[in-house]
Amino acid sequence: MAMKPKEIDRKHRRLQDILKDMKGVLVAFSGGVDSTLLLKVAKDVLGDNVLAVTAQSETTARHERLDAERLARFVGAEHLAVASHEFDFPEFVQNSPDRCYVCKKTRFADLVELAGQKGFTYVVDGENVDDHRDFRPGMLATRELGVRSPLGEAGFSKDEIRFLSKKLGLPTWDKLPYACLASRIPYDMPITAEKLRQVDAAEERIRELIQGVQTRVRHYGDTARIEVEPKALAKLIHIGVRNHVVTYFQELGFTYVTLDLEGYRMGSLNRSIDTGK
């Protein structure tokens, strides 16, 4: 899609106006492309009346935790990391298709409570207009809790967010999209902390071996199914890399290591359910 700088500038001004009207915000901050732009603009507009909060649990990859801390410092915003408690809910652990709703409901309920304690009227997240194209039941939970999405309200698409991020000098402008580790477990297979640790370690090793490509490791009990971008398939099956991956994955506890020849695609596990999309 061809970018229209004047249109993006207009949306940027609209985003600034939305945030000005809020007077102060608690930003649900993951350190991804969207929430980093939102935090940057909020900090520019509202100064110290901004708090970045990152909810963390076993579902958060180690590199994402480090990124959130680093990027909040880069923006110059106050940052808190708080524990998330989705594992306290059997509906989440059982991993039904509405898992994301359960997780978001408990996480954002905690953020709304924290916002009240800190004197903030609004909790905001990085949802944008493109998010409605995917199966994301968690968005219903945030709407029910009154969480606002200024990027979406201003009409930003993902590509426009990347364009403005680059213009503003944010290092996240070309960051690969990411999702919580629970999304690697097929629906109706229980989520455990051990499975998430295996996935986190497995994906981190592939990122070390093949840098700059999108990677997912889907956890099917004793089997790992690796998804990488099609352009990286040849690198992964190179004998030296392949042997290293197989050995390391088996050390993590997998019996079988498989490669999805279709390659990475967002929401691949949603094929097994009726999402209504």
Q: CATH top-level class for 181-272?
A: alpha beta
pLDDT in tens, 48-105: 999 999 999 999 999 999 999 999 999 999 999 999 999 999 999 999 999 999 999 9
pTM beyond 0.95: the answer is no
What is the sign, positive or negative, of the torsion defined by CA atoms of 171, 241, 236, 61? negative
Q: Supply the DSSP string of 87-154, one letter for each residue.
A: GG-HHHHTT-TTHHHHHHHHHHHHHHHHHHHHT-SEEE----GGGGGS--THHHHHHHTT-B-HHHHT
Range(s) for CATH 3.30.70 in the chain?
A: 181-272
Query: What type of residue is 158?
Result: K
Range(s) for CATH 3.40.50.620 in the chain?
A: 5-167
**How many of the other CB atoms lie within 10 Å of CB of 132?**
11
Q: 210: closest CA among 196, 229, 191?
A: 229
- Tokens 């996935």 -> residue: 199
pLDDT of amino acid 135: 57
- Tokens 């998330």 -> residue: 84
- CATH code of the domain occupying 5-167: 3.40.50.620
- Tokens 């708090």 -> residue: 51
